[in-house]
């Protein structure tokens, strides 16, 4: 069991392993967190907010999240710090502690990386849909390596890009079996209007 301590960034977003996450940083606690992550080449935890807001008081999050690693940063035109990060391993929060600066630090158990599974023929239409969605996604996905033959990668990218509410995305994140995630996506797609 790989136990680590991670600063948490609660968001109204579900981050998947391998997915891009652009952020605007302005709160002092998160500016400090980003500075520490850059200095020590470590990641931070992104967890979906269950109750609360992204700014201000400490928010209550779901127990499962994803480690984010900063891949680039820049000063934005509005004077705020812009950070580009990418999802890595999933984790389960074991406990949390709120520091004096209101940054939450979590003791987490990192989940092992999903095993590489070839995309079954039954799910090839999902890869085709994903290709179209990535073409429309623009620069955000420009640097994300393409692995259309990998069941986990296809499932994670579709989970990010499809217009699903965050509770469904969270349930997809928490699934251990990439093929089960693809089956769930097929079921969800049958109820979506994709123009």
DSSP at 138: G
- 85 and 173 belong to one structural domain: no
Closest C-alpha among 72, 71, 70, 82 to residue 45: 70
| pLDDT at position 22 | 94
Residue 78: partners with Cβ closer than 8 Å, 6 or more residues away: none
Structural domain includes residue 131: yes
| pLDDT at position 195 | 42
What total number of domains does the chain contain?
2
- 160 and 91 belong to one structural domain: no
Last residue of a domain, which of 91, 110, 129?
A: 110
- 11 and 89 belong to one structural domain: yes
pLDDT one-digit tens code per residue, 89-144: 999 999 999 999 999 999 999 999 888 899 999 999 999 999 999 999 888 898 88
Residue 124: partners with Cβ closer than 8 Å, 6 or more residues away: none
User: How high does pLDDT run on average in the chain?
Assistant: 92
- 104 and 156 belong to one structural domain: no
Last residue of a domain, which of 87, 110, 133?
A: 110
Task: Specify the CATH number for the domain of residue 13.
Answer: 2.30.130.40
Task: Specify the CATH number for the domain of residue 167.
Answer: 1.10.4060.10
| pLDDT at position 134 | 95
Domain that holds residue 141: 121-189
CA 13/CA 31 separation, integer angstroms? 19
- 105 and 134 belong to one structural domain: no
CA 109/CA 3 separation, integer angstroms? 5
* Proportion of the chain in helix, strand, coil states, percent, rounded to 5: 35, 35, 35
The predicted model scores a pTM of 0.92
Structural domain includes residue 195: no
Q: Residue 169 phi/psi, 5° resolution?
A: -60, -40
Last residue of a domain, which of 110, 136, 165?
A: 110
Q: Which residues of the chain have pLDDT under 50?
A: 194-195
CA 69/CA 85 separation, integer angstroms? 5
Structural domain includes residue 159: yes
- 20 and 92 belong to one structural domain: yes
């Amino acid at each position: 069991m790989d136990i680590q301590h991670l600063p948490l960034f609660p968001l109204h977003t579900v981050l998947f392993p391998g997915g891009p996450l652009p952020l605007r940083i302005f709160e002092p606690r998160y500016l400090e967190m980003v500075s520490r992550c850059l200095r020590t080449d470590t990641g931070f935890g992104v967890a979906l907010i269950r109750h609360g807001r992204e700014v201000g008081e400490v928010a209550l999050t779901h127990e499962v999240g994803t480690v984010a690693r900063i891949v680039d940063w820049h000063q934005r035109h509005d004077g705020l710090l812009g950070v580009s990060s990418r999802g890595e391993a999933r984790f389960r929060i074991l406990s949390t502690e709120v520091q004096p600066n209101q940054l939450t630090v979590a003791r987490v158990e990192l989940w092992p990386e999903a095993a590489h599974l070839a995309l079954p023929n039954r799910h090839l239409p999902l890869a085709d849909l994903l290709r179209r969605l990535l073409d429309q996604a623009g620069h955000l996905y420009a640097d994300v390596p393409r692995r259309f033959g990998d069941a986990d990668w296809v499932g994670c990218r579709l989970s990010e890009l499809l217009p699903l509410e965050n509770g469904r995305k969270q349930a997809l994140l928490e699934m251990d079996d990439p093929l089960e995630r693809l089956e769930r996506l097929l079921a969800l797609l049958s109820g979506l209007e994709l123009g």
